[in-house]
């Protein structure tokens, strides 16, 4: 591969590029799904391609191709330079990159069992057994289960001397039960909604999930929700389970701290951000109980890597410390805007055909000191919600509303009747400042988000959010 990457870099610099990098990527996918008693889908695919990114005359240029040959690499490198020179005629300022060391390295996702070596029959058998357990419960009309795997082999090189080989492996599984009756329809998911649980690793990720063990309970909760009352609108204390809290972190902390969104250079998809650069180091984002960390090195995180798509080494850093906002997600280009001398390594692309963007890494709300039982016992009047059902947040990431699959009323420190169709609404700073308690490490789980969208043309990225249940005071619930 070095011969091919060197050819791209040499061609680009010979034609006038002051900087160039290339990513050659081979990707392999597999997905299996089942609905009720039948297999509903089997998908397998592989693709290969490369993208060349350059700076020429102070502006960016990018081009890509699915044909990995010497002649095509020369052609695409030249096209990237031509694009940069054309862009330079309209530039406002020269692109400048924060310095980064050059690396020659190999980094691979640790795993025990290659999911692509596990027989398809084994995967189908598990999914059908899960569905059969759910279908035993009265009122369940649809039992859906799924698993998916992705392997990405990437070769990165740049004109500064880096040559990095990375192999990323992601695995996951999950299911849902849909109950119909009483003039209503309700759904419960496990281990979380919107596709299930996923982590970096091999088939052992699936083996370790208690899938069959929780199938009946998941279905029984879906059925019970048909007869459960809806929550009456009020302002009350809210305890969020870890699964729902993960999406709350994603939407109201993760996206607002993407520096390209803050600067307005990526605003077409889902807007900009209220977290303007004057807030860095002083803004009271949350209460002193709120400590949020970005970490692209944490074991098994979906965004855990050795290096980002600019060749910047993976890092861990604070986003919110004792409630104060202290860190952004940055690239080599925009790090200097906030006075930082180095990128945080947050640039990733959805495959070889897309240019890297600032993307979330693994972002987690760090554990506190509470047990869940003690937190509920300390709550005189409130509601416990978990498992996302719907979400909406404005173009500045301020005003939001989330709906959940399931909730329970809390009265006099006890978790009582089940509730359905429970939602909550707030403003981001007010919400995080109302957080007065976070559960401890025993309740902390790394939840995977596998379908985060950004950019036009649209790109999908994966990341994880660690969370334990937490309490928020005086929240509008309805």
Confidence at residue 9, expressed as pLDDT on a 0 to 100 scale: 98
pLDDT on residue 35: 98
Terminal alpha carbon distance of the chain: 57
Residue pair 276/262 in contact by the 8 Å Cβ criterion: yes
pLDDT of 268 above 90 = no
Domain coordinates in residue numbering, the chain:
2-225, 234-477
Q: Tell me what the mean pLDDT of segment 108-129 comes to.
A: 98
In the chain, % of residues over pLDDT 90: 97
**Domain 2-225: CATH class, spelled out:** alpha beta
How sure is the predictor about 269, in pLDDT bands with cuts at 50, 70 and 90?
A: confident
Instruction: Give, as one character, the DSSP assignment of residue 92.
Output: S
Rounded mean pLDDT of 389-413? Answer: 97
Asked if residue 426 lies in contact with residue 400, where contact means CB atoms within 8 angstroms, the answer is yes
**pLDDT of amino acid 335:** 97
Distances (CA, A) of 191 to 57, 172, 278: 51, 10, 39
Amino acid 146: pLDDT: 98
The pLDDT of 376-381, averaged and rounded, is 97
Q: Phi-psi category of 133—alpha, beta or left, where left has phi over 0 and alpha has psi -120 to 50?
A: alpha
Instruction: Give the model confidence (pLDDT) of 54-110 as tens digits.
Output: 999 999 999 999 999 999 999 999 999 999 999 999 999 999 999 999 999 999 999
Select from 235, 205, 227, 188 the least CA-distant residue to 386.
188
- Percentage with pLDDT > 70 across the chain: 100
pLDDT of residue 270: 80
The Cα 461–Cα 232 span in angstroms is: 37
Calculate the alpha carbon distances from 79 to 55, 316, 467 in Å: 12, 36, 45
b (16+ CB within 10 A) / e for 250-274:
bbbbbbbbbbbbbbeebeeebbbbb
The residue-averaged pLDDT of 37-65 equals 98
Burial label for 330, CB within 10 Å (0-12, 13-18, 19+), is buried
């Amino acid at each position: 591969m070095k011969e091919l990457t060197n050819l791209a870099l040499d061609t680009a610099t010979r034609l006038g590029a002051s900087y160039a990098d290339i990513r050659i990527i081979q990707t392999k996918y597999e997905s299996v799904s089942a609905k009720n008693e039948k297999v509903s889908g089997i998908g397998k695919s592989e693709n290969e391609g490369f993208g060349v990114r350059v700076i020429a005359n102070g502006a960016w240029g990018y081009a890509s191709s699915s044909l990995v040959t010497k002649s095509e690499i020369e052609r695409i490198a030249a096209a990237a330079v031509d694009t940069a020179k054309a862009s330079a005629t309209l530039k406002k300022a020269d692109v400048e990159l924060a310095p980064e060391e050059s690396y020659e390295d190999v980094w691979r996702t640790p795993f025990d069992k290659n999911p692509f070596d596990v027989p398809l029959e084994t995967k189908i058998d598990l999914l059908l057994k899960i569905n059969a357990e759910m279908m035993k419960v009265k009122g369940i009309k649809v039992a859906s289960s799924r698993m998916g795997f992705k392997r990405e082999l990437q070769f990165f090189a740049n004109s500064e001397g880096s040559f990095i080989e990375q192999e990323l492996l992601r695995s996951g599984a999950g299911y849902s039960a849909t109950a119909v009756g009483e003039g209503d329809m309700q759904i419960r998911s496990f281990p979380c909604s919107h596709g299930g649980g996923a982590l970096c690793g091999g088939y052992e990720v699936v083996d370790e999930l208690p899938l069959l063990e929780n199938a009946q309970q998941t279905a029984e909760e879906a059925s019970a929700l048909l007869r459960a009352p809806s929550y009456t609108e009020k302002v009350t204390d809210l305890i969020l389970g870890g699964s729902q809290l993960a999406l709350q972190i994603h939407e109201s902390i993760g996206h607002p701290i993407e520096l390209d969104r803050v600067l307005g250079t990526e605003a077409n998809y889902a807007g900009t951000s209220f977290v303007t650069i004057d807030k860095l180091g002083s803004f009271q984002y949350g209460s002193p109980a709120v400590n949020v960390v970005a970490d692209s090195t944490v074991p098994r995180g979906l965004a855990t890597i050795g290096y980002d798509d600019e060749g910047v080494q993976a890092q861990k850093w604070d986003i919110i410390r004792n409630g104060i906002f202290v860190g952004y997600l940055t690239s080599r280009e925009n790090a200097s805007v906030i006075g930082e001398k180095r990128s945080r390594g947050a640039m990733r692309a959805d495959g070889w055909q897309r240019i890297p963007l600032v993307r979330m890494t693994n972002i987690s709300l760090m554990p506190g000191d509470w047990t869940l039982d003690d937190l509920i016992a300390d709550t005189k009047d409130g509601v416990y919600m978990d498992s996302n059902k719907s979400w909406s947040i404005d173009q500045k990431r301020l005003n939001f509303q989330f709906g959940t699959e399931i909730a329970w009323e809390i009265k006099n420190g006890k978790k009582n009747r089940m509730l359905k169709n429970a939602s909550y609404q707030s403003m981001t700073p007010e919400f995080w400042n109302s957080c007065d308690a976070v559960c401890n490490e025993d309740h902390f789980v790394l939840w995977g988000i596998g379908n985060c969208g950004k950019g036009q043309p649209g790109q999908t990225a994966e990341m994880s959010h660690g969370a334990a249940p937490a309490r928020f005071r005086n929240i509008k619930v309805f």
